[in-house]
Amino acid sequence: MAQEEEDRYRAPALDKGLDILELLAGVDSGLTQAEIAKRLERSPNEFYRMLDRLVRRGYVTRLDGDRYSLTLKLFGLAQLHAPVRRLVSYATSIMRELAEMSYQANQLVVFDRGNAVVIAQQEAPRYWGISIRVGSHISLFDTGSGHVLLAFRPPEERQMMIAEHRRSNEKIELSPDFFQRLDQIRDRGYEMMASLQTAGVYNLSAPVLGPDGHGIAAITIPYVTLVNMSAAPDITKTIELLRDAAARLSQLAGSDVKPAA
């Protein structure tokens, strides 16, 4: 009886699409159409139209012409789910405390469907600070947040993020130096760079890590030197405060990273 009920409500096309997504989720280097068919014990012709639709909808991408691999669209959709809203709720008090102690504004950024997106923002507590509104899309390639989001993901996911970003943004050629910088950021544990958008501002950015040790977000301070506030921490102390805040938020997200301060 249970089998009859299951057969009654079958959706073969949906099952086929989900089979492909679940298969590709466990393969880092992608699979050809023939390989997908073989692993799912079906005819290759059965998957042509389904793969075409998954590519057009952005869930799957083609690598080297004939290999199919998952994009990060499912990851992006997951960002809209309760865990990300919970991350923002966890971050609120930590970001507020960071702003009070550093005298600087800060923001929380995640990767979502090809872009780095600001999902939370805390104003500076005094007169001066640089703020970026929630919902803003920023570049992966020339911002501290973007660098950190790339640096703390596995190499294959990093390449997928770059490919998705390029599909919806300017086509920028990345040199080997760029990838060396990402490795340096990962080794150092944070990014510090002069802003390429605003003169006199330094982007200070640290990763929020998940249980697997990979970056799930970046917390960033657009640091401005406050010459008329002697109590304000200098940039070295501000980096310490930032890294401690990122480590505390990582712990709340399930990571076993220890606070920096």
Q: Which fold has domain 2-70?
A: Arc Repressor Mutant, subunit A (1.10.10)
The mean pLDDT value for 167-189 works out to 86
Q: Is the pLDDT of residue 255 over 90?
A: no
**Does residue 256 surpass a pLDDT of 80?**
no
Q: Which part of the chain is CATH 1.10.10.10?
A: 2-70
**Where, residue-wise, is CATH 3.30.450.40 in the chain?**
77-252
Nearest to 47 by CA among 65, 28, 23: 23
How confident is residue 2, by pLDDT bands cut at 50, 70 and 90? very low
The predicted structure's pLDDT at residue 83: 59
What's the 3-state SS for 155-213? HHHHHHHHHHHHHHCCCCCCCHHHHHHHHHHHHHCCEEEECCCCCCCEEEEEEEECCCC
- Looking at domain 77-252, does it have CATH number 3.40.50.450? no
d(CA 147, CA 165): 13
Residue 258: both structure tokens together: 């220890």
Q: Which run of H or E residues covers position 19?
A: helix 12-25
Average pLDDT (41-69) is 85
**pLDDT (mean) for 173-188:** 92
| Residues belonging to the chain | 261
